[in-house]
């Protein structure tokens, strides 16, 4: 590794981003990999780790609401832009000569971060060409074929917006019921079954022609996305090594893998 690698953690509100930042940080510490934690969420209340850089030092949702006389929704938009304006302060806190992972925990409202131009400028300005994205799919949003397809679509939109290499993971794997896990595994390992179940779902529940979900499905499948998805849990640490490997694969051609086995017995 030459210099730092930024790892952005993205996903819809409550999918487990901050928990993953804490848990993956624990994994990196366990193997002695230098890293730092950056909180980019101005609306975060309690976060389960001690950030090395915290945008709340400069912008908080509560202050924006008060100063601009805005409700929480409007304030999210303004705060998101204000965070981006503080990009240089974030950058100042990162030692660009050090080999390290920089974990960036993104705002709760993924839509804002992904679709605001200001957030794109932020990402472009921090370690361009040395950045990676971990997209978390909340298993509660992936119980139906259209749910999973929508999540994969969102992750693809984030990739499109940020133009970053990525890993897509299903979060909170420790909470997934065996029947749902079996279904998810089947869909991801054999997308034909997702196609069939999606057709069935569309014909049963929609007034629209099933072509919509099927065409979206086909676009995602042609990108080879489904087979890459794997489960992670911030509680059991399942999948942490998978994330590490995915990052390594992009930035070091798969070299420099951790020594020994993780202590978690959840690893396959």
Ligand X SMILES: Nc1nc2c(ncn2[C@@H]2O[C@H](COP(=O)(O)OP(=O)(O)O)[C@@H](O)[C@H]2O)c(=O)[nH]1
Q: Which two tokens stand for residue 259?
A: 């020594």
16's torsion region: left (phi>0), alpha (psi -120 to 50) or beta? left
**Binding to ligand X in span 170-199, by CB under 6 A:** 171-172, 174-175
Q: Which two three-digit tokens encode residue 3?
A: 């210099």
If contact means CB under 5 to 8 A according to the sort of partner, which of Mg ion, ligand X, none does residue 145 touch? none
**Residue 175: contacted member of Mg ion, ligand X, none (CB under 5 to 8 Å, by partner type):** ligand X
Least distance CB 201 / ligand X (angstroms): 26
Partner touching 15 among ligand X, Mg ion, none, CB below 5 to 8 Å by kind: ligand X
From residue 188, give the alpha-carbon distance in Å to each of 117, 135, 216, 253.
32, 16, 15, 25
Q: Which stretch binds Mg ion (CB under 5 A): 14-22, 53-61, 158-166, 208-216?
A: 14-22
The answer to whether the CB of 136 falls within 8 A of the CB of 11 is yes
Cβ(55)–Cβ(41) below 8 Å: yes
- Residues 93-112: x where in contact with ligand X by CB under 6 A, - otherwise, as a string: ---------------x----
Q: Are 38 and 52 in contact, with CB atoms under 8 Å apart?
A: yes
- The DSSP call for residue 258 is P
Q: Which of 182, 209, 198 is nearest to 147 (CA)?
A: 198
Q: Which of residues 117-136 bind ligand X (CB under 6 A)?
A: none
Q: Does 85 bind ligand X (CB under 6 A)?
A: no
Cβ-in-10-Å burial (0-12, 13-18, 19+) of 261 comes to exposed
Contacted by 172, from Mg ion, ligand X, none: CB < 5 to 8 Å by type:
ligand X
Closest-CA residue to 154 (of 18, 13, 44): 13
Q: Determine which residue in the list 10, 11, 18, 38 makes contact with Mg ion, applying CB under 5 A.
A: 18
Regarding 15 and contact with ligand X (CB under 6 A), the answer is yes
Pair 39, 56: CB distance under 8 Å = yes
Nearer to Mg ion, 20 or 220 (CB): 20
Q: Which is nearer to Mg ion, 108 or 191 (CB)?
A: 108
Burial label, 242 (beta-carbon count in 10 A; 0-12, 13-18, 19+): middle
Cβ closest to ligand X, residue 18 vs residue 114: 18
Is residue 19 near ligand X by the rule CB under 6 A? yes
Site string for ligand X, 233-262 (x = CB under 6 A): xxx---------------------------
Q: Smallest distance from the beta carbon of 22 to ligand X, in angstroms?
A: 8
Q: Which residues bind Mg ion (CB under 5 A)?
A: 17-18
Residues at the contact surface with ligand X, assessed by CB under 6 A: 11, 13-19, 108, 171-172, 174-175, 233-235
């Amino acid at each position: 590794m030459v210099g730092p690698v930024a790892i952005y953690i993205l996903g819809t509100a409550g999918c487990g981003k901050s928990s993953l930042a804490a848990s993956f940080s624990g994994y990196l510490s366990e193997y002695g990999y230098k890293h730092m934690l950056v909180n980019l969420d101005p609306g975060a209340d309690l976060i389960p780790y001690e950030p090395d850089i915290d945008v709340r030092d400069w912008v908080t949702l509560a202050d924006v609401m008060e100063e601009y006389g805005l409700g929480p929704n409007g304030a999210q938009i303004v705060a998101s832009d204000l965070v981006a304006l503080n990009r240089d302060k974030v950058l100042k806190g990162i030692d660009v000569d050090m080999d390290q992972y920089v974990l960036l925990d993104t705002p709760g409202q993924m839509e804002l971060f992904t679709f605001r131009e200001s957030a794109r400028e932020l990402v472009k300005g921090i370690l361009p060409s040395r950045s990676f994205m971990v997209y978390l799919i909340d298993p509660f949003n992936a119980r139906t074929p259209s749910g999973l397809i929508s999540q994969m679509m969102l992750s693809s939109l984030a990739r499109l917006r940020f133009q970053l290499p990525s890993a897509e993971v299903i979060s909170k794997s420790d909470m997934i019921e065996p029947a749902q896990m079996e279904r998810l595994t089947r869909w991801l390992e054999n997308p034909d079954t997702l196609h069939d179940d999606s057709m069935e779902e569309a014909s049963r529940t929609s007034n629209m022609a099933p072509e919509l979900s099927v065409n979206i499905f086909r676009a995602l499948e042609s990108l080879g996305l489904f087979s890459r998805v794997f489960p992670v849990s911030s509680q059991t640490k399942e999948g942490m090594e998978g994330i590490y490997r995915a990052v390594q694969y992009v930035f070091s051609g798969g070299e420099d893998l951790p020594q020994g086995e993780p202590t978690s017995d959840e690893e396959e």
